[in-house]
Amino acid sequence: MVWPPYEELLSRHGETEGVTLDINADRYRESFEAYSEIGATANDGLHRLALSEADRTVRDRFVDDLEALGLDVRVDEVGNVFGRRDGTDPDAEPVLIGSHLDSQPYGGRFDGQLGVLTALETMRTLVDSDVDHRRPIEIVNWTNEEGSRFKPALMGSGTFVGEFDVEETLAATDADGTTVEEALEEIGYRGTEPCEPREGIHAYLELHVEQGPKLEERDRSIGIVEGIFGMAWLEATIRGESDHAGPSPMHARQDALVAATDVVSGVRRLSNRLANDVVTTVGEFEVSPGSINVIPDKVEFTIDVRSYDDDVVAELVDRVDAELDAACAREGTTYELEELWRIPHTEFAESVREAVLKSAQARDASHVEMVGGAGHDASYLNDITDAGMMFVPSVDGKTHNEAEFTEWDDAIAGARVFADTTRRLAR
């Protein structure tokens, strides 16, 4: 991506076109490298589970950076962290910008973190250039977007918009039985602010790495996100009979693992039957008792199903149940299926998509409208305000993987469009 000089763009489009902010690319990158040290893995990824010690450290760094900017910092009761810069009109509804700093167990440095640091660079540029904006602008780091340690995903933003009850969120437990409340206390982020909007919100904007191959395939710098897939998270438990691997006749076995593997293959086959955008994933799988010469009597596993069509997601949930029923009938095992989480598909606000489009055009940034398959906090914000997202390319589409990468020129291109769009929304 070769950029026309900023001055030329300004002369060509001028102030009115919103080409008004020039981020400090070195500072942006320095912060990215510094934050990437926190919870860094040996393979350049991140191990920064929600509310872990690494999450505490990165949150402390984030709060320090917000306070250094003179922002009004507050932490709500589920640990969402906000920093506010007033606008010229104290009665105007704010523009919210941000993403998440938690990661997958072996995730990439860009997922979530790039969005938060792009918002931080935008705030820094506003403060540096002493640029006025009518509306207040708030930056946010959402608690537990990933839903890996604590389920469901989008926990902080979902609670903020009222999708999840605060008490339920605080009572959610991880695999060791630690509650969200205990983990928040442990890292010092059990805030006192109510987890809800204090006022109406004018708009929400989030930058995120695409986490897919489309931008790279189309050689575009900016993805203007029309919407996000709907998705459901299920947990299946299959119960059989443990018995000796030797003397037990094969025809008399009730082998929970054999039934479970049938279901895993069946779930995979669903992804090319119902609709061409369907994706299905079994990510967690636990076998008991887990001994070489004992027939497994229990298997617990998760199923993640997604499509842009909510009716297809509903159909997928039914089909998973049918797969379990058939496999257990064959094997003489029993099962339970629990729905952990479901979110309908999202269609982002035209007003925000338009603002991103105008900013991309003003910067001569190549762009394309697209739908995203990964869940994002913006989906819940879209329930209470005009929300929108923009993507920057992921090399080879790789993500939720330590090798996740975005070329720095693409990150800068995204940050410039993001900063301009933020200013445009806050005007």
Among 111, 163, 206, 404, binds Mn ion (CB under 5 A): 111
- Is residue 227 a contact point for ligand HGY (CB under 6 A)? no
45 Cβ contact list (under 8 Å, min separation 6): 103, 106, 107, 108, 109, 401, 402, 403, 404
Which residues inside 356-385 make contact with ligand HGY, applying CB under 6 A? 374-375
x-marked contacts with Mn ion along 79-108 as a string, rule CB under 5 A: ------------------------------
CA 272 to chain centre: 25
Q: Which does 315 bind (CB under 5 to 8 A by kind): Mn ion, ligand HGY, none?
A: none
- Strands (E) in 159-312, as ranges, are 203-209, 222-228, 230-239, 279-281, 285-288, 298-307
Which one, 126 or 374, has the nearer CB to ligand HGY?
374
Q: Quote the tokens at residue 382.
A: 């879209």
Q: Which does 153 bind (CB under 5 to 8 A by kind): Mn ion, ligand HGY, none?
A: ligand HGY
Among 75, 137, 153, 299, binds ligand HGY (CB under 6 A): 153
Provide, rounded to whole angstroms, the least separation between the CB of residue 54 and ligand HGY: 17
Total count of residues recorded for the chain: 427
- Is residue 45 a contact point for Mn ion (CB under 5 A)? no
Q: What is the CB neighbour count within 10 angstroms for residue 118?
A: 33
Q: Which does 147 bind (CB under 5 to 8 A by kind): ligand HGY, Mn ion, none?
A: ligand HGY
Q: Which residue is nearest to ligand HGY (CB)?
A: 375
| Nearest-angstrom CA–CA distance, 25 and 408 | 9
Which residues inside 133-152 make contact with ligand HGY, applying CB under 6 A? 145-147
Provide, rounded to whole angstroms, the least separation between the CB of residue 290 and Mn ion: 29
**What does 133-150 look like in DSSP terms, one character per residue?**
-SS-EEEEEES-SS-SSS
Which DSSP state fits 323?
Answer: H
Which one, 136 or 230, has the nearer CB to ligand HGY?
230
- Is residue 152 a contact point for Mn ion (CB under 5 A)? no
Percentages of the chain per state (helix, strand, coil), in multiples of 5 = 35, 20, 40
Q: Which does 112 bind (CB under 5 to 8 A by kind): Mn ion, ligand HGY, none?
A: Mn ion
| Contact indicator for 204, 96 with CB cutoff of 8 Å | yes
Note the residues at the interface with Mn ion (CB under 5 A). Answer: 111-112
Note the residues at the interface with ligand HGY (CB under 6 A). Answer: 145-147, 153, 374-375
